[in-house]
Amino acid sequence: MEHVGTALAETTLPAISPLGGEPIERADAERLAGVLKALADPARLRLLSLIQSAPEGEACVCDLTAPLGLSQPTVSHHLRILTEAGLLEREKRGVWAYYRLVPTAIGAIADLLTPPRKRATKKAAR
């Protein structure tokens, strides 16, 4: 079994949220934008949902083409983009590749896009 690492682990997300009250560095913004761009496609969002809801939390390309109504090469293209963005892990088993979500990557994006409680509390107090 060949296990392919994730790009998100190799390309770390910024430590500062763009909503955290401090300006985000250009390089950090570019990395985050790349990951968000990978998410900003209806077929890719559906792929994440289908994989997450699959038995064992993983799926093969062959399991994903029919629900999406897309060809195998198109589904493989979308899976490659999500994997390169660090949102999916890919494990090769014989001739098949299986994909699963990287929970820490999804959590990291959610954390970066969630304004700190302190800011929300200050607004509520006004």
CATH for 72? 1.10.10.10
Six token digits for residue 81: 């983009």
What does the angle CA 18 – CA 39 – CA 24 come to, to the nearest 5 degrees? 15
User: Which percentage of the chain shows pLDDT scores above 90?
Assistant: 48
Pairing of strands 96-101, 58-60: antiparallel
- How many structural domains compose the chain? 1
Amino acid of residue 40: A
Per-residue pLDDT reduced to its tens digit, 30-86:
888 888 899 999 999 999 999 999 989 999 999 999 999 999 999 999 999 999 999
* Residue 63, domain extent: 2-125
State pTM to two decimals.
Answer: 0.73
Six token digits for residue 16: 């500062």
Instruction: Give the position of tokens 């969002």.
Output: 45
Give the strand order in the sheet containing 2-4.
2-4, 88-93, 96-101, 58-60
pLDDT at residue 42, as a whole number: 95
Residue that wins the pLDDT comparison between 26 and 81 = 81
